[in-house]
Every structure is written in structure tokens, then in C-alpha cells.
Structure 1
Amino acid sequence: MSDYDAILLLSFGGPEGPDDVMPFLRNVTRGRGIPEERLLAVAEHYQHFGGVSPINQWCRDLIPHLQTALGRRGIELPVYWGNRNWNPMLVDTVATMAERGVKRVLAIATSAYGSYSSCRQYLDDIAAARAAVGERAPVIDKVRHFFDHPGFIAGYAQGVREGLQKITVDDTTRLLFTAHSIPSSMEEYSGPEGARYSDQVREAAELTVAAAGWEGPWDVVWQSRSGPPQMPWLEPDVNDHLESLENTTSVAVCPIGFLSDHIEVLWDLDEEAAQTAQKLGIEYVRTATPDLDGPMTETLAELAAERIQGVPVRRLGKLPLWDPRESGCCPAQAAPRPSKGH
């Protein structure tokens, strides 16, 4: 076994009440010059749900599930939790680990993909937190990307199968896979050529189609873009795509880019996209994100076991696999990151 002595759950963070929303959004967009009116508009999405993002509670719920799954593999390590943008902040968690004598940590980020905002920025966050804590800070490594892990795919495939049972399926039904759009300039640096962020999402979607046994048409679309209109982002947007469909009576939308029901899922898909489909007379269902009692938690535990115990890597995809410990992983030459929260 390796000499890791703790696990770190590393996430985006989210507000937990109405008074948290604007401070949280300012944390997310710090240094980017986002106009106050834009923040106020995004804040309304959170206020629609009482000012609470589900992501923090999801992390709290995940930790005991993850500890149990690790224990089944003989990994008896404490699990800490730190966020990028809201309490518990990563720097505070790193300081706590240092105070407790933790020396080497394996971080599991709540993002399966490689790109600046979904991988490199977490590595930068780790470096900044360690620098702030100083010489006592533990060494922190990050697990690999896992968008093609069998357990990751199985969780979404189950959601797709169950979702399709809730709508009328005929030969016009389409299955749509969504992930957070990113600026095209960020896409350029999101991985090796041929294995960039959009390629990763498409491969995950293709694998999910096969696992779910879906034989009808499907598409990869994007959601939650922000930033000035003149800046190109990955397209098509899910709403634009819905409006472009012809002779389609029903759609199922799978949020393959999100491990849990973030605000982007609840607002952009359950509200905005659902309203677009209703306007168009298209029967609509948003399929579920993976259940913590299912294969997703086992996947995260297995990623830890790969690094700690050297268990074999399991993958379904064919895209190149690269290591976040390598300096070339998800380079930082990137356009401003997405500004919406989780």
C-alpha cells in the first residue's frame, strides 16, 4: 500500500441560505469583472430554491457512503472535505489536516472530466491552499479523470432507463446528453488533441447509450453558458437544440456532465429546458443523476484504491488516459472560466 494517510473530497461548494448567495457568487467570479447585474440575475436562480444549492448536502451525504465503500476495500483513512467557493473552504481544510499531522492526501474532485475548470483549476486551488498553509501543508495528489469508468457509466445508464419509462417512447424520441458548456478557447487546452473535453463528454454519452440499451437517435448538447455573447462557447445549447428538432414528440435529457443535481441541473434543465419543451409540445423528462447507494460511490472508492493499493484501472473508453500529477494535464492557458455555481 502507498503512504497516503487521508482522503480529501474536493468540490465546488454552494450557498446554504439566501444570505450566502451573493457572497458565494462573488467568490466564484472574483477578479473577472462580472457586472453586478449579471450576478443578481444568477442569484435569482438560487433564490428560486430558497438560496440553497444541493451540492454541499450531497457532499455531506457522500462522505459516509464513501467511507463505507473504502472500508470494504480495506482502506481505513479519514475523509476530509474542502470546497473551492464556499464553506468548508479548501484552505481551512488543508490547515486542519496540517494541524492533525496529515502528511500525504489523495484528493477526489467531484468532476469526472478533464478541462481547465473541471481539473486544472482544482489543481491550482490545491497549490494555492498549500502555499497559504505553508511548510506544514500535506502533499495532495488528485485521482485521475473517470468519465469512462464502468461504474460512472452504469449510474447514468440506470437513470436513462428509468427516465425513458416516464415518457411515451416512439421512433421520434431523442435522448439528449448535456454538460456544462465552456469557452471554445478553453476547449482547446482541455486535453490532448482528440481527447478534449467535448470528446470526453461524447465518449461518456456513447458508452451510456450502449449500457442503457438505447437504439434511437441521441445528441450531445450543452448548457449553462455564461460570459459575453461575442465569446464563442461549445454549442448547441440545449434550448436551441430543442427548438431545432423536427417531428420529435418526446425527449429524455441526461445530465452526463454533473455528478449530482446542481443548480444548473435544477434550473437550466428542470425549469428552462422543460419550459422550452412544453412550449414546443414535446414530452420531456430529465433523467436522474447517479444514486449514492449505487455504482457512483463505488467508482470513487475504486479510484482511491487504484492509487493506494495499485488495483487495476478499469475503463470502457478508448480515449488517452493521462495523470493529473503530470505537468501537462489540462494546461492553464485558458479563457475565463464559467461563472455559474453549483
Structure 2
Amino acid sequence: MDRVSYDALLWLSFGGPEGPDDVLPFLENVTRGRGVPPERLAEVAEHYQHFGGVSPINRLNREAITAVEKELAAQGIELPVYFGNRNWHPMVEDTLARMAADGVRRALVFPTSAYGGYSACRQYDEDIERARAAVGEGAPELVKLRQFFDHPLFVGTLAEGLRNAHAQLGGARTVFTAHSVPESADRASGPPEEGGRRYSRQIAEAARLVAAEAGVGAYDVVWQSRSGPPQIPWLEPDILDHLDALHAQGETAVVVCPVGFVSEHLEVVWDLDTEAAARAAELGLGFARVPTAGGDPRFAELVVELVREHLMGAPVAKLSDFPAAGCTVNGAPCAPGCCEPVKRRG
């Protein structure tokens, strides 16, 4: 059977400000329609100002794209890579218009999230639908690549970092972190008949796989970066509260592994390297943080392996029994009821 041909790869990400004047407009894009109060936006904006109003995410994406381009070339795959964002320039609508003008008719899409869930998966489908609608007639067909939290290269990269961090400290407690979401959003992240695909269960499975490969026995899974109103239950415990609890239990050191993230963007640098590291110092806890997988050369190999699944029918590489999911065409959900948005009360 003939394989479907593709003209390009679209790298689709979250976006981030690249200067002080970008910060509030960027945050307004992120929170549009969510009723986040201005004082909360100002609080988050202050985090960015600690770094000159610049998030590292766009730079990191460009570096990762360069690595992927080199890996594609090394494997003899001629596929130009385009870069588009959900919330800040280059906006995906503008990128898709350029792709159409360049003659791209069918492209694969790599979203920079390893997991399912509304923000991590379904919202990228919405980005694709919105961008194609903005371009209109002649918009390229877009096929989104699958989730990869259980890919051997993703797991192996984090496991190596975890072993190295433990070698620095010795006798430390392992703590895996991921972005918290409302409990209602977590329940909506997998159809009822496939509850095992919930975002929180995917995070737990990735942590289990990384710990097993690293040879780590005891570990905890906690959450970070909560941004919602206090009356709405979110996944807990928070990393800072958990550090307090570990200290009270007599732990003397902690290794933190951001299993839920793929790059060293602001939520990792601020929530872990700034706030969590400071809390650990206050408590007298030794502290080490595992690098995210996105900066490792194996990450580019992972992306190209996902591409090869479509171009060449390469086997699906995964370490868990979770069903492969997240692969969509033109933003159509991969399964009924999967990663549904939570209805907000007005």
C-alpha cells in the first residue's frame, strides 16, 4: 500500500513573551475567556520580569527545531520544519498562511506536549482547526503526531538525568512534578470507558517508567504551577507543600524530576529552580533538579521517530500498555469524549 506523502513538519507550541512589553498581552492571550482577575495576571507577569520579560520557550523551540532539522537530514528525510505558537508570535495562523503560500498541501504537526488532557492535547487540535479556518481555502491538511510520554527515548533521557542527580546528592527522595490542572479537567481528559488515559494517570505511568529505568524505588508524584481560583479543586499536593511534608518526615535531600514538561521554560525555571529551590534551602534540604528532555539530542531522534511512523510505517515505540492516542487529522479528536474542555460557570 502506498504511503501518504507529506510536504512539511509544523512545530506547534505554547509561545512566550520575548520582551517586557510582550508579557501582559501574552498573558491576556493565555487566559482569554477564563475570568482570571487582573491582580493574578500582574502576579504572574512579575515572574517574567525577573527574567527581563523574556520566556526561554521560543528560544528553546528554535534550538530544538534546528536539532530536528539536522536529524531529518541525517536520516535522508527532506521535510522543511515550520514554527507556530498558540499564544505568541510566531502565531500558528500566520505560520500556516506562510506554509500555504509556500505550496505545502499536507503536513505533520508536532505539538510540544507528551501527554493527553485538554491543554496538553485537545487545545492543540483547536489551534489546528482555528489556523486552517483563518487560512481558508487552500489550507494544508494537518496530521498531528501522537502523544509520547511512554516513548523509550523520552523515558531514557529523564532516567539518565535522574541517575545523575542522585549521584550528586545520594540518599535523596525522588519527586516527580507535572503541571497541575483542575480535578474536573483531569476527569474529562479520558473517555469514561478509557479512564486509564486520564492526564494524571499518564503522568503517574511516566513517573513509574522513569523510576524503574533509573533504578529508583520510592518516589512521589506532585504538582506545580496552579493558577486557578482557590475554590476550585486542583490536583495536589503542590511541590512547595510537599517539600514541607518531606522535611517534617525527616528527609534530608530531594531530587526533583519535571516529568510533565519537555523544555526548560519559565514554569520550570521559576517554580522549581527559583521557588522550590528556595523553599528547600529554607528547610535545609539538599536539592537537585533533573533537566527536561527537550535539550537532549535524543529528543530530536524521538521527534523524527514519530515522523517516521507516518512516512515509512515505522513501528510505534512505547513502553506502557496505554493505548497510543493524540494523532488527529485537521484537529478532529482522536476518540469521542477524549480531552474534553471543562465547561466553566459564568
TM-score (norm 1): 0.94
Matches of residues 204-219 of structure 1 in structure 2 within 5 Å?
204-215=206-217, 217-219=218-220
Whether the 8 Å contact between 2:176 and 2:221 is mirrored in structure 1 is yes
Give SS of 2:155's match: helix
- Cα deviation code 1:90-146 (max 9, x no counterpart): 000010011111111100011000000000000001101100110111011100000
- The letter of the residue matching 2:182 is P
2:105 maps to 103
1:188 maps to 187
Cα distance, 1:165 vs structure 2: 2.3
Matches of residues 157-236 of structure 1 in structure 2 within 5 Å?
157-167=159-169, 169-170=170-171, 173-191=172-190, 192-215=194-217, 217-236=218-237
Cα distance, 1:291 vs structure 2: 5.5
- The letter of the residue matching 1:225 is R
Matches of residues 13-92 of structure 1 in structure 2 within 5 Å?
13-92=15-94
User: Which residue among 242, 250, 255 is the counterpart of 2:258?
Assistant: 255
Query: Per residue, is there more helix in 1 or in 2?
Result: 2
Whether the 8 Å contact between 1:65 and 1:293 is mirrored in structure 2 is no
- The letter of the residue matching 1:324 is C
Assess, with a 3 A threshold, how the Cα gap between structure 1 residues 2 and 73 changes in structure 2: closer, same or farther.
farther
Q: Distance in 2 between matches of 1:93 and 1:291?
A: 22
Q: Distance in 1 between matches of 2:178 and 2:53?
A: 23
2:331 maps to none
- Confirm whether residue 301 of structure 1 aligns to residue 304 of structure 2: yes
Q: Distance in 2 between matches of 1:51 and 1:316?
A: 39
Give SS of 2:104's match: coil
Whether the 8 Å contact between 2:64 and 2:294 is mirrored in structure 1 is no
1:331 maps to 339
Cα distance, 1:243 vs structure 2: 1.1
Whether the 8 Å contact between 2:262 and 2:292 is mirrored in structure 1 is yes
Cα distance, 1:318 vs structure 2: 1.6
Across the aligned residues of Structure 1 and Structure 2, the Cα RMSD in angstroms comes to 1.4
Q: Distance in 2 between matches of 1:200 and 1:24?
A: 29
Identity %: 55
Assess, with a 3 A threshold, how the Cα gap between structure 1 residues 305 and 96 changes in structure 2: closer, same or farther.
same
- Confirm whether residue 8 of structure 1 aligns to residue 10 of structure 2: yes
Cα distance, 1:163 vs structure 2: 1.5
Cα distance, 1:329 vs structure 2: 6.7
Q: Distance in 2 between matches of 1:65 and 1:268?
A: 27
Whether the 8 Å contact between 1:259 and 1:289 is mirrored in structure 2 is yes
- The letter of the residue matching 1:224 is S
TM-score (norm 2): 0.93
Cα distance, 1:68 vs structure 2: 1.6
Whether the 8 Å contact between 1:2 and 1:309 is mirrored in structure 2 is no
- Confirm whether residue 241 of structure 1 aligns to residue 249 of structure 2: no
Cα distance, 1:194 vs structure 2: 1.6
- The count of aligned residue pairs is 332
Of stretches 203-212 and 104-113 in structure 1, the one that deviates more from structure 2 is 203-212
Whether the 8 Å contact between 2:10 and 2:107 is mirrored in structure 1 is yes
User: Which residue among 272, 275, 288 is the counterpart of 1:269?
Assistant: 272
Q: Distance in 2 between matches of 1:221 and 1:108?
A: 27
Which ranges of 4 or more aligned residues in structure 1 deviate by more than 3 Å? Answer: none
Gaps of 5+ in 2: 329-333
Cα distance, 1:332 vs structure 2: 2.5
Q: Distance in 1 between matches of 2:338 and 2:82?
A: 25
Give SS of 1:2's match: coil
Matches of residues 141-160 of structure 1 in structure 2 within 5 Å?
141-160=143-162
Cα distance, 1:153 vs structure 2: 0.6
Q: Distance in 1 between matches of 2:66 and 2:103?
A: 22
Assess, with a 3 A threshold, how the Cα gap between structure 1 residues 291 and 229 changes in structure 2: closer, same or farther.
closer
- Cα deviation code 1:224-266 (max 9, x no counterpart): 0111101011111111111112010000000011111111111
Assess, with a 3 A threshold, how the Cα gap between structure 1 residues 222 and 293 changes in structure 2: closer, same or farther.
closer
Whether the 8 Å contact between 1:322 and 1:329 is mirrored in structure 2 is no
